[in-house]
Chains A and B, each alone.
Chain A
Amino acid sequence: MNEIVQGFIEAIELILSLDPDVIEITVRSLYVSLSATFFASLVALPLGAYIYFNEFRGKRAVINLLQTLYALPTVIVGLAVFLMLSRSGPFGFLGMLFTPQGMIVAQTILIIPLITGLTVSALSGIDREMRYTIISLGSSQLQSIITILREARFAILAAVLLGFGRAIAEVGTVMLIGGNIRGFTRVLTTAIALNTSMGNFSFSIALGIILLGVALVVNVVLNLVQER
C-alpha cells in the first residue's frame, strides 16, 4: 500500500528531476516498441484485411490459429528468437543478440499475430454491402485493403494500440534477447523486473507509472493523428 503511494511520489520526483538513467531507458523502451509496432502493423494490417476480404479454404482455421497465438508466451517467443540469433543459431552472424535491433525483431514477431487477429475481428463487423461497394468501384486488391482499413480506423487504431501496449509492457523477449544490459538494452520493463527482484518495490511502481504515462502520451498522439 505504502509502496504504491511511495511509488507515485518517486515517479513524480523522477519525472521532475529528469533523471538521465530513467530518461534513457524510457526513450529506449519507446524506440524499441514503437519500431516493433510499426513493422508489425506494416505486415499485420494488410494481412488482416486480406484475410477479411478473401474467402478461401481454411480461412476459419487461420483465424483460429491467429487467436490461439494470442496466448503465445513472451518467454517462448524470446527463446525461439534467441535460439535463432544466438551464435550457434542460423542468424548468429547478424550479431543481433543483445542489441535493441534484436529486441525489435522479437517484439515484432510477438505482436504480429495479435494485430492481425484483431484487424480481422475489427473488420468482421463491417457490412457485406460495404465490401461489395468497394469492389464494384473497381478497386485493386491493395486499394480494397487500404479503403477498408481506413473505414474501420477506430478499431484498427485500437488494434495497433493494443499491439503497442503489449510490446512496451512485455518483459519476456526483451529480457532474453536484449539482456537488460545497463546503458545498452535496458528498457522500462526489464528495469522494473530487476528492481522488483531487488525488492525495490516503490521504484518499480514509479517506473510502471512512467511507462503508463508514456503509453498514454502515445495513445493520445495516435488518436489525434487518426482524427487528423
Chain B
Amino acid sequence: MLLARLFDEKFASLYRAGKIMGGVFLGRGQEALSVSIGVHLRTGDVFAPLIRDLAGRLAFHEPVLDAARTYLGSVQGPMRGRDGNVHRGRPKSGQLAMISHLGAMISVVNGILFARRMRGVDGTVGVASYGEGATSTGSFHEALNQAAVEQLPLVVVVANNQFAYSTPTVRQFACDSLLARATGYGVAGAAVDGTDLGACLQVVGRAIAQARAGRGPQLVVASLLRLCGHGEHDDAQYISPALKASPAGRDCVKVAEQYVLQQEWAGADTIAHWRAEAAQTIEAAVVTAQRESAPDPFAPHYWSALASQHRWERREEGS
C-alpha cells in the first residue's frame, strides 16, 4: 500500500505537470482496503478493480509498469493506447479491464465464475470493488442478485467513502447501513473500518475465504474517506473539515505504519527503507514508460474492432 500511495503521488505530480494523458484518479485513503483484496487473491482468481484500487492491483500482481505505461501513453502498456488509466487490465491474468459504467463489472465476474464452475474448475474467487455510489445502479443490483441465485464465489467490496463524486450518501441511499442489503439478497455481509489495515485484512480475507469455501456471495462494506478529489481535477471542497477530522478521515497509511511500529513488525528505519525502495521502483517505471513510443495511428490493427476480421476479409467493408 505504501507503493500505491507513492505511485499515486507520483501520478498526481505528473498530472500537475501536464505529463498525463487524460484524467488521474487516486486511491488515497483507500489503500488499506484495496490491498486487503489483492493479498488474498491467488493466481486464477478474478479481480474487477475500482478506479481507486492501485494498491489492490499491485498486490494482485499487476506489473508496476502497467500503470505507468497506461498513464503516460506508452504503446507497450496493456491497453496499447486504446484505453487509458483506470480502465487498464489483463483479463487473461484475472485483472479485468473495467468499463466506466459503474456496477457493470460485477455480472462479468459472475460470468467468469459461472464458466469456471461449468468447466469444473474449483476454488476460484472473484472480487468486484465499487464505491457506495455504484450501489444505486441497476447493474449492481441485478448482478448481486444473480450471484446469490447462482451461489457464485463472488465478493463485492464496497468502499463507502461518503461521497460519489460530490454527492453525499444522504442523496445516494436512505438505509442505515448498506450492509442491510446483504440480507435482502440472501448473501453474507460484513462491515469494516476501512482506515484500519488489520481489520481490513481480516474482514476481506474472511469474506474471500468464505467464498472460496463455497459459502456463496459475500458483501463487504467499508467506511472510510477518500483523502483527495474525485479525480485530480477536483479539489473536493464539498468534504467538510469535520468529516476529515472524524475517524473515517484517518489516513490508513499512517494508521498502518503506526500499527506496524506498535506490533514491532518493523522499525522506523525499515519503513523508511521500504519507502525509498518504493520510490525507486516508481521512478524506474516512469522513466521506462516515458522513453517508450506512443501508438502509431497508421498501424492498421488499431482500426478493426472484430476478432474474426479474417472471416470478413474476402469482401471489403465499405466505410
A binds B: no
Binding site for A on B (CB under 8 A): none
